[in-house]
Copies of this chain bind each other. A is one copy, B any other.
Amino acid sequence: MSIPTSARQWTLREKPHADPVLEGANPTFTQGTASIPELQDGQVLLKTLYLSNDPAQRTWISRAVQPGRLYVPPVETGEVMRAGGIGQVVNSRHSTLKPGDLVTTTIGWTDYSVHDGDSVSVIDPPAGLAVTHFLGALGLAGFTAWYGLYEVAKVTSKDAIVISGAAGAVGNVAVQIAKKLIGCRKDFKKVIGIAGTDDKCRGVEVLGADVCLNYKSPSFKEDLTKATDGFVEVYFDNVGGEILDFMLTRLARHGRVAACGAISNYNRDSDPTALKNYFEVVSMRLQILGFIVIDGLHLLSGARAALVEAWQNGKLLLGEQAETVVDTNFSDIPRTWSMLYSGGNTGKLITKLKD
């Protein structure tokens, strides 16, 4: 393999006000080329194989988020769009990493990139397990589910739980942990998923949810009210907005919200989350607990080992519900990413670079 000297990359051209603009005269991102610097001692050159697509990426390019109020620096205009991914080492001046090794790190929307070898993690998946799961159920997405359930909401088998975005990268793992590892209220069948199509809902039920409700159904609120009869102790919230607002009325006294994300608002900088039921936070003594998984990274390897074991024992399904891998030309990276916001993925949305 010859060593490339230039890399293609997508940079942020203009922070979007609402939906990212993929076409026309004023797109959000722009494609270009940069030369690849010579490797220094300790560095590796990675060829990008897979890119992670995450709702949180939208917040990194938000106009609404103020400086210092994010858990990572925002991506600024002119910078390569940040993204996690899996790369293959194609050149190395690092003591242990060698060409051919597969690693995860923050790669960005580029086909080749130089990294400090100590900043990447080598992937060595057990036999039979696709490497892509290290971006999904066995990566930060799955760990987010783990951390939110065990460490933030401190869910126990006495809790009934509702999980939104249940067909998504975090949600599908959260459903499985809640039902099959924590075993939420086996007697009362109370792991309730929320997703955006009937097909997704059936998939979430395959994963273990006692029921999964389609929030686009005209009877959604009635369905959710019925499913949460007697109320629930925990809401694992991936979406924010209207569903969060409604869930404030469906939580039991002293109920907890694990506030993981608010994708329903990420493309609506000027459109607030209107909590018309906010007073229930006071009257029912609810707790809304925001969290970011990077606070718990010291627990990642232990959680990953437990999730791998759960997979080996059949308690963590990593089939078609776990990931959507999209073969993508480099020029279509933003388009594949935007599927996140139109509900185009089931499980983790992964870009597989085919050129």
A291 touches B280 (CB 8 A): no
The distance in angstroms between the C-alpha atoms of A279 and B240, with both chains bound, is: 8
Q: Is residue A259 within 8 Å, beta carbon to beta carbon, of the partner chain?
A: yes
Interface size class on chain A is 35 or more
Q: Is residue A285 within 8 Å, beta carbon to beta carbon, of the partner chain?
A: yes
Q: Is residue A329 within 8 Å, beta carbon to beta carbon, of the partner chain?
A: no
| Closest-CB distance, A239 to chain B (whole angstroms) | 11
Number of identical protomers: 2
Q: Is residue A120 within 8 Å, beta carbon to beta carbon, of the partner chain?
A: no
With A66-B249, A287-B287 as known contacts, state yes or no: A282 contacts B292, CB within 8 Å. Answer: yes
Q: Is residue A298 within 8 Å, beta carbon to beta carbon, of the partner chain?
A: no
Chain B residues contacting A280 (CB-CB under 8 Å) are 65, 69, 290
Query: Interface residues of A: mostly helix, strand, loop or mixed?
Result: loop
**Segment with Cβ contacts to B, from A14-22, A111-119, A260-268, A346-354:** A260-268
The distance in angstroms between the C-alpha atoms of A292 and B254, with both chains bound, is: 10
Q: Is residue A71 within 8 Å, beta carbon to beta carbon, of the partner chain?
A: yes
Q: Is residue A182 within 8 Å, beta carbon to beta carbon, of the partner chain?
A: no
Q: Is residue A299 within 8 Å, beta carbon to beta carbon, of the partner chain?
A: no
The distance in angstroms between the C-alpha atoms of A291 and B285, with both chains bound, is: 5
Task: Find residues 49-69 in chain A having any chain B CB closer than 8 Å to their own CB.
Answer: 59, 62, 64-66, 69
With A273-B276, A276-B272 as known contacts, state yes or no: A262 contacts B290, CB within 8 Å. Answer: no
Q: Is residue A284 within 8 Å, beta carbon to beta carbon, of the partner chain?
A: yes
The distance in angstroms between the C-alpha atoms of A286 and B80, with both chains bound, is: 30
Residue from B271, B275, B279, B290 within 8 A of A283 (CB atoms):
B290
The distance in angstroms between the C-alpha atoms of A245 and B272, with both chains bound, is: 10
Q: Is residue A289 within 8 Å, beta carbon to beta carbon, of the partner chain?
A: yes
Chain B residues contacting A287 (CB-CB under 8 Å) are 287-290
CB-defined A-B contacts under 8 Å, sample of 29: A59-B279, A59-B283, A62-B279, A64-B279, A65-B279, A65-B280, A65-B283, A69-B280, A69-B283, A69-B284, A70-B283, A71-B284, A240-B278, A240-B279, A259-B282, A262-B279, A270-B276, A272-B275, A272-B277, A273-B275, A273-B278, A282-B292, A283-B290, A284-B290, A285-B291, A285-B295, A287-B288, A287-B290, A288-B288
